[in-house]
Amino acid sequence: MRYLTQAIAGAGGRFKTQAEDFEVEELPAYHPSGEGEHLFVWVEKRGVATPEAAKRLAQALGVPEAPVSWAGLKDAHAVTRQYLCLPAKGAEGAIATARVEGVTLLRWARHGNKLKNGHLEGNRFRLVLREVKDPAAAKASFELLCARGLPNFYGEQRFGGHGDNAEKGRALLLGQLKARHFERKLWLSAFQSALFNRVLDARLDDATWDVPQLGDVLKKHATGGEFVCAEPDVDRPRALAFELSPTGPMYGPSMRASEAKVAALEAQVLADAEVTPADFEKGGAQTQGTRRLLRVPLGEPSFEAQGSEVRLSFTLPSGSYATVVLGELIKG
């Protein structure tokens, strides 16, 4: 995986030496209205993964675990704040006195609709890097990311602890492997993500990742609207202003197709992986496909260095990875 900041020295440093070094706060798409059949609970958790936090909350309230939902999964080795949602009936009466190991219940309110996966605008990150060898290099890399945007790679955690989820996803797609529903969804998505990363890597290599090309599928940052680039000279100033950016493929039959040389690159990545567009039709609902931005902005950025310690804060859209930011600074 290439770095945008390749020309800047790696700053080095250690990360996640303690849970407080990695704080994540969900930016909800909406807040509960105060009325309805569902109870939204704003929680802070430490050292607990989201599914485990949901399980512990349900047990503490004496309600079934299955209906508990969330908008996004959050890291276990971190301090994170997010909404968990469960049926208000049976839970609301017990919540004021509930105690949940590793989870603090900060506030709660009713809402008319159930919280579903993806119902969030993004996340706010506060990160601490320790034993940084070159804070000036870290600052230079961070400033470049703020100016140009973050290459929207999927982070390593997308591919599993052993890094082989994408390989398993390819085998599933080709009928060489079988899996349970959850694993199937996870592995197929990992394969799509790996292919996207290869396209982005190639676009970084030829310096077109943030420059609209003829045939690019462009996406507007404000509205999410997509269109195929027919006039690069018209669209490039809008890209410089961060109104829109090129997208890459999450392959599948519902994905909007690119054209011209962009389509040729995306077809070559598939060919190199020895799969075809038709193979993704076999994946069913899990591999319908979409477009993903090749870059995303770092919102509300802040950088502070004290000696060998660096503190960062920024926001990212849902689905983008803070670990990719750290990789650009540390470089191994």
| Number of residues assigned to the chain | 332
Say if residues 246 and 213 touch (Cβ distance below 8 Å): yes
What is the sign of the dihedral through the CA atoms of 162, 163, 167 and 169? positive
Q: Give the three-class secondary structure for 46.
A: strand
* 235 in catalytic set: no
The Cα–Cα gap between 229 and 212 comes to 7
Q: Give the three-class secondary structure for 53.
A: helix
Mention every residue, 6+ apart, whose C-beta is less than 8 A from residue 127: 15, 21, 22, 23, 311, 312, 313, 322, 325, 326
Alpha carbon 2 to its chain centroid, in Å, reads 18
Which of 21, 75, 235, 279 is the catalytic position?
Answer: 75
Name the token pair of 74.
């959050």
Q: Give the three-class secondary structure for 204.
A: helix
The residues annotated with a catalytic role in the active site are: 75
